[in-house]
Chain A
């Protein structure tokens, strides 16, 4: 029974990931500029070379056949070759995954540490000035463009993961704070407080179980937010990660590379979110 459930999950996961790859390939193909290469503007190139450049781009014109061939090759461990960088996609991804993994995971952890610290202290203290102060602080980070935060991290020589943390932090903070504030006004928690239970006990025994599934969902989504933030941060901080690669690939309309990056990102997103779901379900099951 359990195995069948797991198998069904894996099947759904695989289908979603493959669909993600196909949709992204369609989006890239649909967008203008698919058949052009900046190189063709070089006035030294003669007409035959310009046409040859264009032809090479048209090879992947039919997305369905492109995708089918790519999948076929992928089954043999070959993810294709990047058009713009001329390297095998496998090599490019392998070189860059560790960098992004480190950046994103440290960024997410830092942002959660900051958000939880502020949200919990606000929930405990229940001083309106403190809450307003936190709102202003998180609001400020929300209003500063990601590129500016990344530049500041270069200026002050702090690691890019801090910039990621500051981009993710206000979003996590706001959800967490609102969810906690709501939980503290549930009738049984007010009763618990009236009874004089310690704040820590209220938090761990009564508040956390109520908000845990939602917070886990926020945790899952914060991974996606962090991956999105990795694009400007890596590009500006000169970090050779997946975000920087994705941006280069997008500008060059590098279909094989973009499709593979989307598949990778979809996979990570799905794993993070369904992981959060599963743990959330388990918690809910325990309580029920």
Chain B
């Protein structure tokens, strides 16, 4: 160590100048750099091609990297312009015309124009693609036509009306027609920089991203995003507590409370989400189950009685520790526009359930419910193994139904076995499962409600509607889909909701709340109920 007085004057000046320079550089860098955001994907992304995306992990990457024409604001649930400055849907609901922004280029520098939109739509509508995003636009037979009016104007015509046409484009990330990097050339805020299969996906900011903030600074603020592939929630929580990751989307309610008890500022409960937990009975006529059981399951009075005998308040209070709402019908109250507010919450009443069953010929003998032929009422309830919340719900339902003399056997199965029973062999009696709703529009559930559809879970692929109420739902769903008038559509879908609650093909149990955790170092986060809950506003997030 040299004593300070021995430092020459010139050297001192140089040192001061240097330190000022370094400091200002650091300040400049701090203003420029938004750091690295880290969180977990719960499964391996199956594809980086935005058109083929179906799994959650790929959806997340598409959201972060894909540039879309329009974007539904996840907070206000309103559609906002992105790559398209404006757009117009024709009266018949078949055609949409976009006016595009100019002077934008892909992450690799390839300029963006209407040609890319035409290319993307043609690729998406390829009948051999079989992607959920594409199928959402496929409302009738025939080909889609794209007409490039000018480099910044394009009109797309579908063979049949597509309900909520403009909203569907929220899911369509635009591909480049010319870039040699194919789908890796993106228009979104980030681009895939590195992928280590089974462990991480590293995203870097897109240097050519077009959007700027109010101060004219280029977005996004973040330099990079590190996505660790980690299916286990316990590990995810451990790593969050250790500060190795910054966000947890859809946090478990149990962990929400524990984490919140220690540091309440880190956890967010955004209220009920769109996701519902529900159970249903097998109503397939050719199902390999006893015919007397089919008679019960096909009786609306039986289904309603079961529904009434389940204590939904206890399910949300105990299983989800209050971070869930008892479900009312097929649409969560979180879906502001489409929820039918006239529907009343299901009341829990084992007594009236029992009375209703008795008027149908059932009777209670020594604590066992028997049908009019003397068969004891017993059924198995299957759910996917490894989901402790469903296992607990099943155990509570078992306990609830025992009070009206119904014996429930809970069986947990691995997911592929469960899906095979549910969609191919129909060898089950009742299923407890959750269905996640990605979008708000009833059209996205078309294939759940149409009786001819594969995903009409309680009785799929009916040749003709087997009941009058299913016929009515078919007709109402088709009516709302072919109308462009939101009021008429809402009216029709309100009726669908009423029929579903009345007939109880699905017994809706709870709507889980959207729970999340955000580290204190993340700025600009305001979690919402729609996915992606914590990073929907990724462009304006930063990490310090």
Q: Which residue numbers of A lie inside 8 Å of B, CB to CB?
A: 31-36, 38-53, 84-87, 92, 95-96, 151, 154-155, 157, 235-241, 244-245, 248, 251-253
Q: Is B455 a contact of A35 with CB atoms below 8 Å?
A: no
Can you report 16 A-B residue pairs in the complex whose CB atoms are below 8 A from each other?
A: A31-B417, A32-B425, A33-B414, A33-B419, A34-B420, A35-B420, A40-B419, A40-B455, A41-B455, A43-B448, A46-B447, A84-B46, A96-B197, A154-B239, A236-B235, A240-B197
B453 within 8 A of A: yes
Q: Give Cα A190–Cα B47 distance, bound, in whole angstroms.
A: 67
With contacts A38-B415, A155-B238, A238-B229 taken as known, whether A45 is within 8 angstroms of B420 at the C-beta atoms is no
Q: Is B444 a contact of A32 with CB atoms below 8 Å?
A: no
With contacts A44-B133, A236-B235 taken as known, whether A86 is within 8 angstroms of B47 at the C-beta atoms is yes
Closest residue of chain A to B421 (Cβ to Cβ) is: A32
With contacts A33-B414, A85-B46 taken as known, whether A46 is within 8 angstroms of B138 at the C-beta atoms is yes
Closest residue of chain A to B416 (Cβ to Cβ) is: A33
Q: Give Cα A73–Cα B406 distance, bound, in whole angstroms.
A: 56
CB distance from A87 to the nearest CB of B (A): 7
Q: Give Cα A50–Cα B127 distance, bound, in whole angstroms.
A: 13
B136 within 8 A of A: yes
Q: Give Cα A95–Cα B198 distance, bound, in whole angstroms.
A: 10
B231 within 8 A of A: yes
Q: Is A43 a contact of B47 with CB atoms below 8 Å?
A: no
Q: Is B238 a contact of A44 with CB atoms below 8 Å?
A: no
Closest residue of chain A to B425 (Cβ to Cβ) is: A32
Instruction: Give 4 nearest A-B pairs by CB, closest first.
Output: A33-B416, A240-B198, A49-B130, A44-B132
Q: Is A52 a contact of B416 with CB atoms below 8 Å?
A: no
Q: Give Cα A209–Cα B421 distance, bound, in whole angstroms.
A: 57
CB distance from B514 to the nearest CB of A (A): 20
B503 within 8 A of A: no
Q: Give Cα A251–Cα B455 distance, bound, in whole angstroms.
A: 21
CB under 8 Å from chain A, chain B span 210-231? 228-231
Q: Is B448 a contact of A236 with CB atoms below 8 Å?
A: no
CB distance from A152 to the nearest CB of B (A): 10
Closest residue of chain A to B242 (Cβ to Cβ) is: A157
On chain B, the number of residues with a Cβ less than 8 Å from chain A's Cβ atoms is: 51
**Which of A32, A154, A244 contacts B417 (CB under 8 A)?**
A32
With contacts A35-B424, A245-B198 taken as known, whether A44 is within 8 angstroms of B416 at the C-beta atoms is no
Q: Give Cα A35–Cα B424 distance, bound, in whole angstroms.
A: 9
Q: Is B235 a contact of A39 with CB atoms below 8 Å?
A: no
**Which of B136, B231, B242, B417 contacts A44 (CB under 8 A)?**
B136
Chain B window 30-71, contacts with chain A (Cβ cutoff 8 Å), 1 for yes, 0 for no: 000000000000001011000000110000000000000000
Q: Is B130 a contact of A52 with CB atoms below 8 Å?
A: yes
Q: Give Cα A252–Cα B416 distance, bound, in whole angstroms.
A: 7
Q: Give Cα A144–Cα B242 distance, bound, in whole angstroms.
A: 24
CB distance from B128 to the nearest CB of A (A): 8
Q: Give Cα A84–Cα B135 distance, bound, in whole angstroms.
A: 21
With contacts A32-B420, A35-B420 taken as known, whether A43 is within 8 angstroms of B232 at the C-beta atoms is no
Closest residue of chain B to A51 (Cβ to Cβ) is: B454
CB distance from B335 to the nearest CB of A (A): 15
Q: Is A46 a contact of B199 with CB atoms below 8 Å?
A: no
Q: Give Cα A244–Cα B228 distance, bound, in whole angstroms.
A: 14
CB distance from A286 to the nearest CB of B (A): 45
Q: Is B419 a contact of A38 with CB atoms below 8 Å?
A: yes
**Residue of B133, B238, B416, B419 with most chain A CB atoms under a 10 A cut-off:** B416
With contacts A46-B138, A154-B238 taken as known, whether A36 is within 8 angstroms of B424 at the C-beta atoms is yes
B452 within 8 A of A: yes
Chain B window 389-421, contacts with chain A (Cβ cutoff 8 Å), 1 for yes, 0 for no: 000000000000000000000000011111111
Closest residue of chain A to B437 (Cβ to Cβ) is: A43
With contacts A33-B414, A35-B420, A43-B448 taken as known, whether A85 is within 8 angstroms of B44 at the C-beta atoms is yes
The interface residues of chain A lying within 8 Å CB-to-CB of B196 are 240
CB distance from A59 to the nearest CB of B (A): 15
CB distance from A257 to the nearest CB of B (A): 12
The interface residues of chain A lying within 8 Å CB-to-CB of B55 are 38-39
With contacts A32-B416, A35-B424, A38-B419 taken as known, whether A248 is within 8 angstroms of B235 at the C-beta atoms is no
In the complex, besides A45-B454, A235-B232, A245-B198, 10 extra interface pairs with C-beta distance below 8 angstroms are A33-B414, A33-B416, A33-B420, A34-B420, A38-B415, A41-B419, A43-B447, A44-B438, A44-B447, A238-B229
The interface residues of chain A lying within 8 Å CB-to-CB of B482 are none
With contacts A44-B136, A45-B447, A238-B235 taken as known, whether A50 is within 8 angstroms of B455 at the C-beta atoms is yes
CB under 8 Å from chain A, chain B span 435-489? 435, 438, 444-448, 452-455, 461
